[in-house]
Amino acid sequence: MTKLIRQINFPEDLRKLKKDQLKQVSVELRDELIDIVSETGGHLGAGLGVVELTVALHYVFDTPKDKLVWDVSHQTYPHKIITGRKDRIKTLRKGGGLSGFTKRSESEYDPFGAAHSSTSISSTLGMAVAKKLSNNNNNVVAVIGDGAMSAGMAYEAMNNAGALKSKLIVVLNDNDMSISKPVGAMSKYLARLLSGKLYFSFRETVKMVISAFSKRFSQKAGKAEDLLRGIVTGGTLFSELGFYYIGPVDGHDVDNLVQIFENVKNSSHQGPILIHVRTQKGKGYKPAEESGDKYHGVSKFNVSTGEQSKSKSNAPSYTKVFAETLIKHAEQDTKIIGITGAMPSGTGLNLFEKRFPDRTFDVGIAEQHAVTFAAGLATEGYKPYAAIYSTFLQRAYDQVVHDVAIQSLPVRFAIDRAGLVGADGPTHAGSFDITYLSTLPNFVVMAASDESELVKMINTSVHINDRPSAFRYPRGNGIGVTMPSINELLKIGKGRVIKEGKKAAILNFGTRLEECKKASEILSQRGINITIIDARFSKPLDEKLIMEIANNHEVLISIEEGSIGGFGSHVMQLLSDRGVFDKGLKFRSMILPDSFIDQDTPEKMYEKAGLDCLSIVNRIQETLNSNIVLAKNKNKISN
């Protein structure tokens, strides 16, 4: 049998097929997805769960004229395969390849870029209003998961959409999973809808949808339909927000989905519509179906066995070091609390939860709430640890400032995924936390240069009871150093000297320390011996140590895995205030460039960013040489 998927390069090819061929297309698309991700790695379970949904949406709606926006968009590999990117699909998440998420610059079928959750309804509402103002009748569809529906932004958008009575279609993809099991009242609410046996068959659903939108029914029939709708929704929150609610329906019955989408597309209903679709994450691939996280994110794997090829390292991951260290402290201190926003496994708090289930709180995809919730705990003498990725903590910056910093509450922020993160690209990079935290008065901001330093920073944070603190650490494994006990503390605002040299000095903040050491070896071979300092703190700075090396070296270089405005900017401000530049010091700040760096291996990303050892060597030599040239010019002038 000729594979139908080979005939499909764009949605218009899909629409040429007969409806009874769509089941076969779905089977082939699912097989294609499994084969691709087995070679590339990436997000698998979510994509497997939306295969039929993807086929039905592109079959019914006239994409890209009709706008289709996927929330988070880690589930869009099937979407990419049938929207002109099939020939490049094996470049997913690689340098120069396709993004693992939707990306406007990549395809006209990606009308809105995403990677953080709960943005789809807001963005599609904006599109819907724009179309109305332009007298454009094309459809706008948002696909949002039940996990993403736990975020307040989704409800802000729904409330606005209901009030505006905009022409907007929202597909709620309910798979009872985000990355881990969803939490909160919304997941329980959706479960009640299902447990109430409202899971409609094909015939029941079509009958309901047709009756809802047909103009041919009498007033009595309309009242009956309203009664049915009331029974179906049970006075749902969605209806109260102004959405016409349909469902739950089987998200793996492609025939059913096509019929529903066609009826909704062709209806004369004025106002937003929500279609509640029930799917299974990992659908159609047994190892994914049986996995606890439904193979949310995977490395390359064997299709037959499902066995993933994991990189081997004798060093523990930074995430695991954080979790295990926090557990040790919590065994001695009953005030320690762990908080995460729908990322228990990603932050290591799943390990903490096994040991302390009553002291672990997964608040769902609600970073703003997580931070203020932690602040409330801190007012009562508890020691909350908000374990949040750097990129996700950005979403709660106002709460960090207003609810934590201004009140000087001792919330501890465990900032995972600091710096460049590899295959997830710029949307997940931890580029800005040094800057956005170090500007806040009375904050303690630390960055671990290795896993041993991370332990010491966690130890230290336990005893910071008069102000907020944060410690950042990268994705991946440590370097394999001897681990300290939980009793080893750091003195607040004090760095350490790694190596002493002459003329040039490096002030390192974070895990670029190993690259600094490599640079030092290269420079040493060229007759240049440098000083290396591990700053440890961006706030407060070790002013005494910085001034000492500034007054005893010709060149001072700061290095950090963050944007402008961070550690280097604070060092430069200190040096400027103390008049050091008047004495001839050459200072250079090595930071992430003023651009977003696309996905690649972390090593190549840091090379592009100019933060690898050779870049450090070149910067030091260039700066030293500029001093030599300046000295020669001064001699010429004096002569």
pLDDT value of position 517: 97
- Residues acting as catalytic residues: 281, 367, 395
Spatial neighbors of 456 by CB under 8 A, at least 6 apart, are 484, 488, 489, 490
Please identify which residue in the block is written with the tokens 């447990």.
195
Spatial neighbors of 247 by CB under 8 A, at least 6 apart, are 172, 193, 198, 200, 205, 232, 274, 275, 276, 277, 278
Low-confidence ranges of the chain (pLDDT < 70): 1-2, 177-236, 292-295, 627-639
Total number of residues shown for the chain: 639
- Count CB atoms within 10 A of the CB of residue 164: 16
pLDDT value of position 206: 52
CA distances from 254 to 46, 412, 616 (A): 17, 47, 56
Q: What is the pLDDT of residues 443-468, one digit of tens each?
A: 999 999 999 999 999 999 999 999 99
Map residue 236 onto helix, strand or coil: coil
- Count CB atoms within 10 A of the CB of residue 65: 10
530 closest CA partner among 447, 619, 632, 452: 619
Contact yes or no for 474/605 (Cβ under 8 A) = no
Map residue 301 onto helix, strand or coil: strand
Q: What is the pLDDT of residues 225-267, one digit of tens each?
A: 444 444 444 436 888 889 999 888 999 999 999 999 999 999 8
Q: Which domains does the chain have, with CATH numbers?
A: 4-10+21-296 (3.40.50.970), 318-472 (3.40.50.970), 496-637 (3.40.50.920)
- Count CB atoms within 10 A of the CB of residue 559: 26
pLDDT value of position 1: 46
Read off the pTM: 0.87
Contact yes or no for 198/161 (Cβ under 8 A) = no
- Output the CA angle 395-400-406, nearest 5 degrees: 155
- Output the CA angle 370-375-378, nearest 5 degrees: 125
Contact yes or no for 385/412 (Cβ under 8 A) = yes
Please give the Cα distance from 606 to 540 (Å, whole number): 26
